[in-house]
Amino acid sequence: MTTLTPASASTTLDSINPATGEVVGTVPLTPIAEIPAIVARARAAAKDWAALTPAQRADILRPAGQALMDRSEKLGRLLSREQGKPFKDGIGEVQGCGHRLSDEVDEIAAAVQPQVLTGEGVESTIHHDPYGVCAAITPWNFPMLMPHWMALPALVTGNTVILKPSEETPLIAQAYADVLSEFLPVGVLQVVHGREQGPALVHADVDLIAFTGSKATGQAIMRAAADGLKRVILELGSKDPLLVLEGADLDKAAEFAARNSFRNCGQVCVSTERIYVDRRLHAEFIAKLVEQAAAFTVGPCDDESAVIGPMIHAKQKAHVTAQIADAVSKGAKVVFGNQPRDGNFITPTVLDGVTHAMDIMTTETFGPVACVMAVDSSDEAVELANDSEYGLGAAVYGEESLARSAARRLTAGMIGVNRGIGGAPGMPWVGARQSGIGYHAGPMGHRQFCQVRVVSRNA
């Protein structure tokens, strides 16, 4: 719940604690008229930055990992006050970025080393060069992890970066950029703040746009990028399914369903938003899911007993409660939760008897609701799971061969079999359909921030 006041009245952006409504802090709004100059500074800095090797850039950034660890409690508490998640989760997010940074910069540098191919009397070298200026536009649900997810590979691969964080969480993103900037040359990493500043940055003279957020905004970015054929990396919405099939370990399936539906108050891009359960397992699964749901206590970030915090703002809460009300009006049954709560808090909720005639099964929820639908076969479960415009993640629990067969028929980009989507080191984070274009992480993802060039000579 961020307050943007008219430029005539104020030149600042207040960040609001979603649990209390109190002002956490303020950042200056970036005048839109200054964005061309900001981009020009980034482009001027790009020449010397790109001239370094990836390993040299990695070495420059390496000390930032320890700096994040040293300040993790202070920064994590700031993150939690601004975004709403419990202190332990906010501190954990900062520590996750700091602890892995040294290994990550080496992984990125290794991914973009030249590759040599030979044959038929020719030697070809594949180079992965920086694009130039990268605009990184990041969301509020993981307000340090997502800037880290974009800025670090963009920087190590030789781009300069202009970070435009969500106006809901500007303070922690600025703090993250400030830590990295202690070790970077001037102009290599800059931050702009404000809602309208995002479109202005997209229209400016940037070479690459990396964005995580809504499908509608992603479409707008694609349209704006089309004139200059700017490169884009877009992670957009999702409606992740979970299939619970014959032979499933119901304790593990229910535990995963609750955790992945409710963590971070359901405000996760790969939250489980649709659950299809073999009808023969349905009653037992529901009972176990309700038992798991009861453990997700709700409270402000400083409540040590809270497992999840509030929704980010009143508009998001209203969206979730409206979807629940629509589903109930069309025959869904509330089997847990949905008790009224003050402010931006919402009780984790389990709905049974949902159908695809309900908005909550087709439109992204981004809230703590587990929606369960009984099915008569694995084929029906797969068909319903694929009945979506989205395709980011999915999970299948069941007898191993049955679950693997179902997984291979799903249209999602990342699929877990008897587990979540997290995979082996080096896997890319990738969506299908309208869940995005391009991907992050691993060698494949790191190279998304590079222009491939091939130089061939006679061997």
Per-residue pLDDT tens digits of the chain, which is 459 residues long: 444 444 444 799 999 999 999 999 999 999 999 999 999 999 999 999 999 999 999 999 999 999 999 999 999 999 999 999 999 999 999 999 999 999 999 999 999 999 999 999 999 999 999 999 999 999 999 999 999 999 999 999 999 999 999 999 999 999 999 999 999 999 999 999 999 999 999 999 999 999 999 999 999 999 999 999 999 999 999 999 999 999 999 999 999 999 999 999 999 999 999 999 999 999 999 999 999 999 999 999 999 999 999 999 999 999 999 999 999 999 999 999 999 899 999 999 999 999 999 999 999 999 999 999 999 999 999 999 999 999 999 999 999 999 999 999 999 999 999 999 998 999 999 999 999 999 999 999 999 999 999 999 999
In words, the CATH class of domain 3-237+434-458 is alpha beta
Q: How far apart are CA 97 and CA 109, in angstroms?
A: 17
DSSP output for 201-229: HHHSS-SEEEEES-HHHHHHHHHHHHTTT
Q: How far apart are CA 80 and CA 53, in angstroms?
A: 36
Q: Which of the residues 134, 269, 301, 371 is marked catalytic?
A: 269
Torsions phi, psi for 135 (to 5 deg):
-95, 120
Is 235 an annotated catalytic residue?
yes
**Catalytic (active site) residue 450:** no
C-alpha 443/C-alpha 90 separation (Å) is 28
Domain 240-425: top CATH class:
alpha beta
Domain ranges of the chain: 3-237+434-458, 240-425
Strand order in the sheet with 240-244: 333-336, 349-352, 369-375, 272-278, 240-244, 393-397, 414-417
Q: Of residues 107, 235, 273, 364, which has the active-site annotation?
A: 235
Please give the structure tokens belonging to residue 348: 């984790």
